[in-house]
C-alpha cells in the first residue's frame, strides 16, 4: 500500500487521500513494510487462522521420519512412484471435497470408480472398443450415476448418506456384473491406456516450462489483481510479497522438476490430477458457481432467498463428484493395468474422504483450504508409500493413517476454536 503507485483515476481515489478504503477503520492494526507484514502473519497464526500450516508441518515430519528409516524414500524413483500412486486418489478426493462443501456426503465414490474401471477394461480389452471411447463411456456412466443420486436427493428428499450408501452396495453389484465370471479383466498390454497410465512422462524441459508458466501466471494475476484493487481505492498486495512468493514457487518448481527428471519424470496422469485440482480451486473461489456451492453449504436458507437454484447446485455437485470418481477409477485401472472385483473397493472410499479432510475440508460444509484434495492425497500416499518401503503390514498403515486423520480433525477443531475466540 505504500511501496507502489499505480496510475489511478483521480475520480476513483478515496476522499481520504492515501489511505485505502479497506484500511480506514482506526481499529485495524496496520501492517507496514516487510516487518509489519511478518508480524501480522504471526498474529494470524496465533489467532488460529493457520491456513495450510499443519499439513505442511505434517508432511515435513513424515518425510523426515521415513527418510531416516529408509533412505530410498526421497530418491527420484520413489517420488515418481508416489506421483503415480496418488493421481487417482487426488481426483476422487477432489470430487468428495465438492460434496463435503455442500455439507453432504457421498459414500458411493469407491463403487462408482470401480464401475468406471470395469467399464473401461471390459470395453477396451474384451470388446476392442477404441481406448478413448471406452474412457468416455466410463466417464459418462459416472455422470449418469451422479445425476441419479442428485435427483433422488433433491426431488425425493432422501438423505445423501442413505442414497449413496445404497449406491455403495448397488454400484458394486453393477461392477461385478460388468466384470462377469472371470472377475479380472486386463487392459491390452501394449494399448494406449496402459501406456499412458504406466509409461508416459513429461520430458524434463516440458516440466520446467509448465512450472515456470504457472509461476508467470501467478505473478500476472497477482499484479493485475492488485492494480485493479488500487484503482478501486483499496489496498493491494505489496509487490515485494508477490516477488517473495514467486521466488519461492520457482525454487519449488526447479527442485521438483530436476528431482523427478533424474528418474522417469513427471507422470502425465499426475499432471492431469494436479490440473484438475487447480481448475476446481479457481472455480470454487472465483466464480459465481463456486460461490453458490459455498453458500449452499454455509446456509441453505440464505442461499435460497438470494435466488440461488439450490436443487440445481446440489444435483450438479453430485454429478461432478461421481464423474470425478469415475475419472479416478479409470486412471487407477490405467496405472494398475487391470480392473477386478477389488477395483474401487477396500480403502478407496475412506482414503478419499480422509484426504479431503486432512487437506482441510470441513465435514460440516462451506469450508475448505486451498488444494485440500492434493495435499491430503500427498500425505496419505506418502504414508502408504513409506510403510510399503519398510515392508510393514497394512495393519500398521491403517493405524497410522487413522491417527493422522484424527490429528487433522483435532487441529481443525482447535484452530476453529481459536478463530472464534479471537474474533475471526
Partner 1 sequence: MTATTGAGRPSTGTEPVLSMTGINKRFGAVQALTDVSFSVNSGEVVALVGDNGAGKSTLVKVMSGAGPSDSGQILFEGRPVSIPSPSASQNLGIATVFQDLALCDNLDVVGNLFLGSEITLGGVALDEAEMERRSWELLKTLAAKIPSVRIPVASLSGGQRQTVAISRSLLGNPKVVILDEPTAALGVAQTAQVLNLVERLRDRGLAVILISHNMADVQAVADRVVVLRLGRNAGEFDARQVSTTELVAAITGASDNVVAERAAREHRTAGSEGTNA
Which residues of the chain form contacts with partner 1 (CB under 8 A)?
21-22, 25, 27-28, 225, 228-229, 231-234, 286-288, 291, 294-295, 297-299, 301-303, 305-308, 365-367, 419-420, 423-424
Supply 38's cell numbers: 511478518
**Do the beta carbons of residue 327 and residue 91 sit within 8 Å?**
yes
**Do the beta carbons of residue 307 and residue 80 sit within 8 Å?**
no
**Do the beta carbons of residue 372 and residue 360 sit within 8 Å?**
yes
The helix or strand, by DSSP H or E, that contains position 26, with its residue range, turns out to be: none
Q: How far is the CB of 197 from partner 1 (least distance, A)?
A: 33
The nearer residue to partner 1, 255 or 312, going by C-beta atoms, is: 312
Chain-centroid distance of CA 408 in Å reads 16
The helix or strand, by DSSP H or E, that contains position 346, with its residue range, turns out to be: none
The C-alpha cell 497410465 sits at: 197
The nearer residue to partner 1, 271 or 292, going by C-beta atoms, is: 292
**Do the beta carbons of residue 381 and residue 404 sit within 8 Å?**
no
Q: How far is the CB of 419 from partner 1 (least distance, A)?
A: 7
What's the burial of 403, exposed, middle or buried (CB within 10 Å: 0-12/13-18/19+)? exposed
Q: How far is the CB of 365 from partner 1 (least distance, A)?
A: 8
The nearer residue to partner 1, 127 or 288, going by C-beta atoms, is: 288
The nearer residue to partner 1, 308 or 380, going by C-beta atoms, is: 308
Q: How far is the CB of 11 from partner 1 (least distance, A)?
A: 13
The nearer residue to partner 1, 302 or 396, going by C-beta atoms, is: 302
**Do the beta carbons of residue 361 and residue 38 sit within 8 Å?**
no
Q: How far is the CB of 294 from partner 1 (least distance, A)?
A: 6
Length of the chain: 424
Q: How far is the CB of 303 from partner 1 (least distance, A)?
A: 7
Radius of gyration of the chain (CA): 23
Q: How far is the CB of 370 from partner 1 (least distance, A)?
A: 15
Give the integer Cα–Cα distance in Å for 194 and 196: 6
The nearer residue to partner 1, 119 or 372, going by C-beta atoms, is: 372
Give the integer Cα–Cα distance in Å for 303 and 224: 31
The C-alpha cell 453430485 sits at: 318
Q: How far is the CB of 3 from partner 1 (least distance, A)?
A: 18
DSSP letters along 292-324, please?
A: HHHHHHH-HHHHHHTT--HHHHHHHHHHHHHHH
The nearer residue to partner 1, 127 or 305, going by C-beta atoms, is: 305
The helix or strand, by DSSP H or E, that contains position 407, with its residue range, turns out to be: helix 394-421
The nearer residue to partner 1, 27 or 127, going by C-beta atoms, is: 27
Q: How far is the CB of 240 from partner 1 (least distance, A)?
A: 20
Q: How far is the CB of 289 from partner 1 (least distance, A)?
A: 9
**Do the beta carbons of residue 351 and residue 111 sit within 8 Å?**
no
* Strand pairing report for 338-340 and 184-186: antiparallel
Supply 175's cell numbers: 461392477
**Do the beta carbons of residue 108 and residue 168 sit within 8 Å?**
yes
The nearer residue to partner 1, 170 or 366, going by C-beta atoms, is: 366
The nearer residue to partner 1, 110 or 238, going by C-beta atoms, is: 238
Amino acid at each position: 500500500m505504500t511501496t507502489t503507485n499505480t496510475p489511478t483515476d483521480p475520480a476513483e481515489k478515496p476522499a481520504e487521500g492515501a489511505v485505502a478504503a479497506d484500511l480506514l477503520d482506526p481499529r485495524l492494526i496496520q501492517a507496514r513494510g516487510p516487518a509489519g507484514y511478518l508480524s501480522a502473519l504471526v498474529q494470524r497464526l496465533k489467532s488460529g487462522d493457520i491456513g495450510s500450516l499443519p499439513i505442511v508441518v505434517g508432511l515435513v515430519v513424515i518425510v523426515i521420519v521415513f527418510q531416516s528409516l529408509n533412505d530410498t524414500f526421497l530418491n527420484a524413483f520413489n517420488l515418481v512412484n508416489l506421483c503415480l500412486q496418488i493421481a487417482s486418489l487426488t481426483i476422487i478426493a477432489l470430487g468428495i471435497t465438492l460434496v463435503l462443501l455442500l455439507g453432504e456426503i457421498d459414500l458411493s465414490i469407491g463403487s462408482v470408480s470401480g464401475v468406471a474401471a470395469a467399464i473401461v477394461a471390459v470395453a477396451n480389452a474384451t470388446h476392442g472398443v477404441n481406448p478413448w471411447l471406452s474412457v468416455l463411456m466410463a466417464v459418462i456412466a459416472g455422470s449418469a450415476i451422479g445425476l441419479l443420486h442428485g435427483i433422488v436427493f433433491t426431488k425425493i428428499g432422501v438423505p445423501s448418506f442413505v442414497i449413496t450408501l445404497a449406491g455403495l452396495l448397488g454400484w458394486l453389484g453393477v461392477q461385478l456384473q460388468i466384470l462377469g465370471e472371470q472377475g479380472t479383466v486386463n487392459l491390452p498390454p501394449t494399448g494406449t491406456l496402459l501406456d499412458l497410465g504406466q509409461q508416459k512422462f513429461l520430458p524434463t524441459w516440458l516440466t520446467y516450462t509448465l512450472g515456470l508458466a504457472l509461476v508467470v501466471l501467478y505473478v500476472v494475476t497477482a499484479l493485475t489483481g492488485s492494480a485493479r484493487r488500487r484503482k478501486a481505492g483499496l489496498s493491494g498486495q505489496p509487490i515485494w510479497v508477490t516477488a517473495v512468493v514467486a521466488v519461492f514457487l520457482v525454487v519449488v518448481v526447479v527442485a521438483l522438476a530436476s528431482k523427478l527428471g533424474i528418474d522417469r519424470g513427471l507422470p502425465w496422469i499426475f499432471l492431469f490430477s494436479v490440473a484438475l485440482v487447480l481448475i476446481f480451486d479457481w472455480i470454487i473461489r472465483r466464480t459465481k458457481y463456486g460461490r453458490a456451492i459455498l453458500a449452499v453449504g454455509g446456509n441453505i436458507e440464505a442461499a435460497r432467498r438470494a435466488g440461488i437454484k439450490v436443487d440445481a447446485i446440489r444435483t450438479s455437485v453430485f454429478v461432478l463428484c461421481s464423474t470425478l470418481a469415475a475419472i479416478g477409477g479409470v486412471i487407477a485401472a490405467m496405472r494398475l493395468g487391470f480392473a477386478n472385483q477389488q477395483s474401487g473397493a477396500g480403502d478407496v472410499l475412506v482414503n478419499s474422504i480422509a484426504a479431503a479432510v486432512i487437506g482441510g475440508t470441513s465435514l460440516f460444509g462451506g469450508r475448505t483450504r486451498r488444494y485440500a484434495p492434493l495435499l491430503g492425497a500427498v500425505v496419505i500416499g506418502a504414508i502408504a508409500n513409506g510403510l510399503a518401503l519398510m515392508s510393514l503390514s497394512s495393519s500398521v498403515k491403517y493405524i497410522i493413517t487413522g491417527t493422522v486423520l484424527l490429528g487433522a480433525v483435532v487441529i481443525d477443531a482447535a484452530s476453529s476454536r481459536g478463530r472464534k475466540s479471537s474474533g475471526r
